């Protein structure tokens, strides 16, 4: 009986054998086992990252929180503790639940430590080069069954997945801010995402007590495809002198029953993040209606990024926020 050809013999000198072999191994393991997620790795300890760590730990998952800065890790843990204390004060959780959640969170500055987790959620800055570099550095250290996800607000999931060895086990896992309060999670499949990966992530969302919205992999997905052009239009309304910061925000709060005005919301999200998403929409959809307002660009260039920098469309350096225009 003839000996079967190996991948190396079938694709001589192509360099494809190792990658194809690993892909086949991943597929066989995925088909043969039920994905049980117990330990979660989170990249980025900022506002989104520590919020994600908060809800996962509270839901009973073991969490490993990673950042390149020890200071940000310390601040992230302090934020989680403070937010849990507020939930205790409002009788949303007990002190025992808070203590148990905090005990489930560990931190590390070493990215490869996340390789031993079942699910990785990247929550770094909204720049594709940064996100791609993180995944490329992480891939060699992952277990075969580990699912990779990104909390990106707008960047192509298919494109991010293509930089890894497991596009079938890659998804968009987009939480809303603030994570402990907002109930929606967008689940975005890339072109190669398989059904077991989607179902595993859907099960996680349900365990977190949140609601999943399934979105296609188009720029901005669902929420930001609708929300960001509204914010951008509000900035144009300010830019063109149609209304002041105060009048624009009051108009939407009192006239459309929005809980926050669009400019106040932009400051809360971060003007740099708003600009990054608008650029993704403009570049990805090639439609001038998504062109970022020059005033938004000017604010970001000035370092006026909103609440996180104490100045944006409002000045937050005093006791009461004051409009800057």
Summarize pLDDT for 190-231 with one digit per residue, the tens: 999 999 999 999 999 999 999 999 999 999 999 999 999 999
Structure tokens at 124: 């770094």
CATH for 223-323, options being 1.10.1040.50, 3.40.710.10, 3.30.70.1290, 1.10.1370.30: 1.10.1040.50
Rounded CA separation 116/251 (Å): 50
Whether 66 is catalytic is: no
245 sits in which H/E element: helix 245-255
Is there a contact between 197 and 203 (Cβ–Cβ < 8 Å)?
A: no
Q: Are 110 and 41 in contact (CB under 8 A)?
A: no
Q: How far apart are CA 281 and CA 291, in angstroms?
A: 8
Tokens representing 175 are 């939480």
Of 238, 315, 227, the residue nearest 266 (C-alpha) = 227
The residue annotated as part of the active site, out of 153, 154, 156, 232, is 153
Which stretches of 2-98 are assigned E, i.e. beta strand?
39-43, 62-66
Side-by-side strand order, sheet with 170-175: 105-108, 62-66, 39-43, 119-122, 147-150, 170-175, 184-189, 211-215
Catalytic residue among 168, 186, 232, 264: 186
Q: Is residue 282 annotated as part of the catalytic site, yes or no? A: no
**Which is it for strands 322-323 and 314-315: parallel, antiparallel or unpaired?**
antiparallel
Angle between the N-to-C axes of helices 271-285 and 294-301, in degrees from 0 to 180, rounded to the nearest 10: 140
For residue 260, list its beta bridge partners: none
Catalytic residue among 79, 126, 145, 174: 174
Task: Please name which of 325, 309, 219 lies closest in space to residue 263, comparing C-alpha atoms.
Answer: 325
> Would you give the DSSP letter of residue 221?
T
pLDDT at 91: 96
Show me where the domains of the chain are located. Answer: 39-215, 223-323
Pairwise CA distance, residues 250 & 297, whole Å: 23
Question: Does 50 participate in catalysis according to the annotation?
Answer: no
Summarised one tens digit per residue, pLDDT across range 1-56 is 444 444 343 333 444 444 444 444 445 444 444 578 999 999 999 999 999 999 99
Q: How far is 319 from 322, CA to CA, in rounded Å?
A: 9
In CATH terms, 39-215 corresponds, of 3.30.565.10, 3.40.50.620, 1.10.1520.10, 3.40.50.720, to 3.40.50.720
- Measured at the CA of 55, the angle between CA 314 and CA 163, to 5 degrees, comes to 85
Q: How far apart are the first and last CA of the chain?
A: 82
The predicted pLDDT at position 34 comes to: 54
3-state secondary structure at position 213? strand
Tokens of 245: 């910061």
Please give, one letter per residue, the 3-state secondary structure of 144-205.
CCCEEEECCCCCCHHHHHCCCCCHHHEEEEEECCCCCCCCEEEEEECCCCCHHHHHHHHHHH
**What pTM value is reported for the model?**
0.84
Q: Is 153 a catalytic residue?
A: yes
Q: Which residues contact 19 (CB under 8 A, 6 or more apart)?
A: 165
Residue with tokens 């992999």: 217
pLDDT digits (tens, 9 = 90+) for 258-316: 999 999 999 999 999 999 999 999 999 999 999 999 999 999 999 999 999 999 999 99
**Which residue of the set 83, 151, 224, 232 is catalytic?**
224
pLDDT at 66 over 90: yes
Q: Per-residue pLDDT for 145 more than 70?
A: yes
d(CA 216, CA 205): 17
Between 188 and 12, whose confidence is greater? 188
pLDDT tens, position by position, 225-243: 999 999 999 999 999 999 9
Cα–Cα distance, 323 to 325 (Å, whole number): 6
Residue 317 backbone zone (phi > 0: left; psi -120 to 50: alpha; other: beta): alpha
Task: Give the model's pLDDT for residue 11.
Answer: 37
Task: Share the mean pLDDT of the chain.
Answer: 91
């Amino acid at each position: 009986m003839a000996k079967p050809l190996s991948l190396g013999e079938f694709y001589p000198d192509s360099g494809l054998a190792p990658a194809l072999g690993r892909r086949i191994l991943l597929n066989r393991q995925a088909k043969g086992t039920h994905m049980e997620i117990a330990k979660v790795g989170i990249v980025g300890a900022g506002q989104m990252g520590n919020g994600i760590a908060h809800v996962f730990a509270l839901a009973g998952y073991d969490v490993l929180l990673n950042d390149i800065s020890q200071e940000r890790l310390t601040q992230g843990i302090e934020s989680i503790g403070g937010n849990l204390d507020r939930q205790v004060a409002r009788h949303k959780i007990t002190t025992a639940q808070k203590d148990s959640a905090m005990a489930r969170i560990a931190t590390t500055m070493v990215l490869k430590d996340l390789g031993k987790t079942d699910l990785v959620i990247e929550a770094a800055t909204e720049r594709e080069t940064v996100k791609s570099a993180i995944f490329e550095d992480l891939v060699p250290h992952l277990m075969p069954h580990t699912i990779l996800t990104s909390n990106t607000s707008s960047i192509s999931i298919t494109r991010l997945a293509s930089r890894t060895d497991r596009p079938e086990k890659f998804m968009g896992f987009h939480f809303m801010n603030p994570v402990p309060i907002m109930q929606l999670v967008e689940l975005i499949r890339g072109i190669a995402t398989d059904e077991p990966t989607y179902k595993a992530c859907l099960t996680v969302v349900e365990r977190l007590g949140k609601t999943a919205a399934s979105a296609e992999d188009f720029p901005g997905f669902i929420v930001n495809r609708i929300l960001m052009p509204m914010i951008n239009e509000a900035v144009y309304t300010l830019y063109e002198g149609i209304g002041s910061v105060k009048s624009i925000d009051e108009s939407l709060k009192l006239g459309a029953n929005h809980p926050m005005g669009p400019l106040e919301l932009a400051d809360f999200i971060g003007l740099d993040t708003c600009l990054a998403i608008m650029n993704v929409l403009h570049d990805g959809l090639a439609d001038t209606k998504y062109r970022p307002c020059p005033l938004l660009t000017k604010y970001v260039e000035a370092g006026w990024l909103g609440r996180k920098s104490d100045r944006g469309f409002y000045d937050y350096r005093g006791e009461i926020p004051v409009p800057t225009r």
